[in-house]
């Protein structure tokens, strides 16, 4: 049992490191494409999607634990609204700033947008959980009537 857990963590680490290598390559390709075509909007969308994907990968462990539980799938809507909507907005803020002509507030730096994408992806998957079904016996059902 313990060996399988160690192997699963090693596999998860290899997948994360591989995705970081692919992310680095993809970001350099996007940067090259934007510099060549002078169209930053697809590049900003690509950066946002890449960091959201990394956040999703970080939350896979939570999803696997929930998948093994019994019960029905549910979504934490409050978490999605309170955390997900602002994080999603900030993950795609540069896209909104270009298309809607929204100025960048002075207190924000360009480093907040990739981090927001990571947190947004993580929030999306960790909002999914399995709700435990309450087991009742037939005697309890007839007593309620």
pLDDT of residue 101: 86
The pLDDT assigned to 104 comes to: 75
Summarize pLDDT for 13-49 with one digit per residue, the tens. 999 999 999 999 999 999 999 889 888 889 999 999 9
pTM value surpassing 0.85: no
Q: Per-residue pLDDT for 82 more than 90?
A: yes
18: exposed, middle or buried (Cβ count in 10 Å: 0-12, 13-18, 19+)? exposed
Residue that has been written with the tokens 């192997």 in this structure = 7
Tell me: the pLDDT tens digits for 39-55? 888 999 999 999 999 99
Question: What are 131's strand-pairing partners?
Answer: 72
Q: Give the domain ranges of the chain.
A: 2-133
CA dist 135 and 88 (Å) reads 38
Measured between alpha carbons, how far is 116 from 124 in angstroms, rounded to an integer?
12
Whole-angstrom Cα distance, residue 10 to residue 20?
15
Q: Six-digit token pair at 132?
A: 């435990």
CA-wise closest residue to 54 among 18, 84, 90, 89: 18
In this predicted model, what pLDDT tens digit does every residue of 102-128 receive, in sequence order?
A: 887 777 777 788 899 999 999 999 999
For residues 1-9, average pLDDT: 87
Asked whether the predicted pLDDT for residue 138 surpasses 60, the reply is no
What stretch of H or E contains 73? Answer: strand 72-75
| Spatial separation of the C-alpha atoms in residues 142 and 120, rounded to whole Å | 46
């Amino acid at each position: 049992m313990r060996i399988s857990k160690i192997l699963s963590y090693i596999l998860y680490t290899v997948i994360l490191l591989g995705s970081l290598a692919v992310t680095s390559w993809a970001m350099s390709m996007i940067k090259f494409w934007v510099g060549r075509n002078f169209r930053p909007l697809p590049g900003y969308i690509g950066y946002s999607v890449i960091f959201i994907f990394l956040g999703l990968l970080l939350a896979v462990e939570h999803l696997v634990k929930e998948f093994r539980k019994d019960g029905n799938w549910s979504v934490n809507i409050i978490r999605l609204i309170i955390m997900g909507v602002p994080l999603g907005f900030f993950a795609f803020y540069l896209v909104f700033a270009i298309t809607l002509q929204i100025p960048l507030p002075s207190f924000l730096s360009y480093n907040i947008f990739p981090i927001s994408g990571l947190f947004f992806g993580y929030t999306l998957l960790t909002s999914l959980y399995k709700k435990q079904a309450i087991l009742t016996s037939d005697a309890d059902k007839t007593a309620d009537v």
